Chains A and B, each alone.
Chain A
Amino acid sequence: MSRSKNKDRPAPAGRGRTILYSIAALFCLLGLADAVYLFVVALTGEAAACGGQAGCSEVLGSAYSRVAGIPVAAFGVAGYFAAFSFATFAAFNYPRARGFFAITVGLMFLGTLWFLYVQAFVLHAYCRFCLFSAAITFLLAGLVVAGPSPRAAEGD
């Protein structure tokens, strides 16, 4: 990862990008906390019960909550942690991190669309923790779209 502009004083546009990716990193932290909680709930088996703090047993206890026996929340933890890491590096002007961040958020966005479809049209039930995660992913996707394109940023 290039650090060619490390000694440059941050130009206003660069500072804006740093703020943008810092905000993205903070959103990722919220998503990570949510995903860690859901992962723990899946491990303890609480997900498949009613009345825990989750209160979303229909979603978390369904067959769609696991892929090859692995709780979907584990992929959420991995996704948010990767997105957080790339956003942090991007905030510190590692240009390639911006591309990786965009790709990670894009994949998470597609996954979120799938899980929203499952909740709305297959299970007819919603889990508020899953909806919170979806909202975070949409916000991240919004930041990716609103921010400078990774290629343009690399060319700065």
Chain B
Amino acid sequence: MKRYLPFLIVGLVAALAFGGGFALYRSKQTAAPTGAKDGATTGLHVRGKKDAAVTIEEFGDFECPPCSKMAVTLKKIEEEYGSRVRFIFHHFPLINHKHARPAAHAAEAADMQGRFWDMHDLLYKEQNNWSHAQDVFPLLHGYAGAIGLDVERFKKDMESETVQKRVDADHQLGSSRGVSSTPTVFVNNVAVPPASLDPSGLRKAITTALEEKGKTKP
């Protein structure tokens, strides 16, 4: 018996590694985010026409590098598909990102002066600079100035309860839909699997959504 014991142990470990890995994979698949229950996909920050055939919703974190890449991808997709797509951004600042919440507040404060998307784009573009800063606030104030905001008003708005509530509401919305990581993207209320969050995967999801709506390819 002892002669076969190492074979038995190695076989058992192989089976456990495979089985454990498979179970983990399955559990991650079933924990996928879900679309809005009432099918209503809306938010505070919308780009594109209301009657667009495809709605892309993103739960993003300004400090998350993949979200920064996603912002570039989504811009290209919007250009490519034109009026057939509209884009909604929701805040989902992650706890482990030190400056994500101040950045979300900055975007909301910019929105109070009608410049959300300018701040959104600038925060992603400059992510590498501010995300590693010890004190992020001077940089955020500088960005507000750079896009032509009233900086003193911006500073007050950043600290306001309204801004905090908006960010919290988005975060709660994400949590209620099972969002746990960023970027999480929904195309017509269907979550795009993280493995497909690349340009080709997104195009495929949009094409499928367009076909379902009876539209033609770009």
Contacts and interface: CB of A to CB of B under 8 A. Distances in A.
A, B in one complex: yes
Interface of A: 3, 6, 29, 32-33, 36-37, 39-40, 43-46, 48-52, 55, 57-58, 61, 77, 81, 84-85, 88-89, 91-92, 94
A45 B96 contact: no
Interface string B4-28: 0110011001100100110011001
B111 interface: no
Contact of A48 (B10, B66, B97): B66
9 contacts: A37-B24, A43-B25, A44-B193, A44-B195, A48-B66, A49-B64, A51-B181, A51-B182, A55-B96
Given A37-B24, A40-B24, A88-B9, A49 B183 contact: yes
A61 B194 contact: no
A3 B184 CA distance: 56
A88 B10 contact: yes
B217 interface: no
B171 to A, nearest CB: 12
B194 A44 contact: yes
Contacts, number: 90
A29 B182 CA distance: 31
B3 A3 contact: yes
Contacts of B181: 46, 49-52
Interface residues on B, range: 35 or more
Contact of A50 (B20, B21, B25, B182): B182
Given A36-B21, A49-B182, A61 B6 contact: no
Interface of B: 2-3, 5-6, 9-10, 13-14, 17, 20-21, 24-25, 28-29, 61, 63-67, 92, 94, 96-97, 180-184, 193-197
Contact of A92 (B6, B96, B196): B6
Contacts of B64: 49-51, 57
B9 A61 contact: no
A94 to B, nearest CB: 7
Q: Interface on chain B toward A: helix, strand, loop, or mixed SS?
A: helix
For the complex of A and B, list the 9 residue pairs with the smallest distance between their C-beta atoms, beginning with the closest: A45-B195, A45-B194, A50-B64, A51-B181, A49-B181, A51-B94, A92-B6, A36-B21, A52-B181
A46 B20 CA distance: 17
B208 to A, nearest CB: 18
Nearest to B192: A45
B194 A49 contact: yes
Given A49-B194, A50-B67, A55-B96, A36 B20 contact: yes
A44 B25 contact: yes
B139 to A, nearest CB: 19
Question: Which of B20, B181, B196 has most A Cβ within 10 Å?
Answer: B181
A44 B28 contact: yes
A56 to B, nearest CB: 10
A44 B33 CA distance: 13
A77 B9 CA distance: 17
